[in-house]
Amino acid sequence: MEDVKDYIRTIPDFPHEGIMFRDVTTLFLDPRGFRMAVDQMLAPYAGLRFDKVAGLEARGFILGGAIAHQLSVGFVPIRKKGKLPGKTIAQSYKLEYGEATMELHDDSLQPGEKVLLVDDLLATGGTAEAGIRLVEKLGAEVIGCSFIIDLPALGGRKKLESLGMEVKVLCEFEGD
């Protein structure tokens, strides 16, 4: 039986020496693999009602758009600072060296809306946590976080679960 992990290539020493980069573009290239990933990301939420899918920049846009289309709900992009044209709200988070900021249009969610947060990879959880906080600032509720890949050694899943989030992943890779 095929697994989404079979479609993901590993590129050694990218973007820095010692990093094993998990490249999902090979998964996206294959129509069967891409459909499998989208279907498996949706499966845990079958029968639940939610209003929007929020995707984290950048590969979360690809997944989030496909999932939102499948569910006939709206899609909300959560972007790096300075990329959205309208009025935004911002949330900063810590990186290994420094800080980054994610933004969300201030009118993209309504209080009480239910949101599924998606991205390709869960590492330290900083970006996902920023996305969750942005959704909550607008009064909406994240009902789940769905990722293709988890890197358990980096602790992102534990961080999100400590925030009360339900986290679903399709596969794991050891290391970083």
Q: Would you please indicate which residues are annotated as catalytic (active-site) residues?
A: 59, 96
Residue with tokens 């869960």: 122
Backbone dihedral angles phi then psi of residue 49, each to the nearest 5 degrees: -95, 125
Q: What angle do CA 114, 116, 120 make, to 5 degrees?
A: 165
3-state secondary structure of 44: helix
Buried b (16+ CB within 10 A) or exposed e, 118-141: bbbbbbbbbbbbbbbbbbeebebe
Residue with tokens 């989208």: 38
Nearest to 4 by CA among 152, 122, 61, 24: 24
Q: Are 27 and 37 in contact (CB under 8 A)?
A: yes
Q: Are 175 and 22 in contact (CB under 8 A)?
A: no
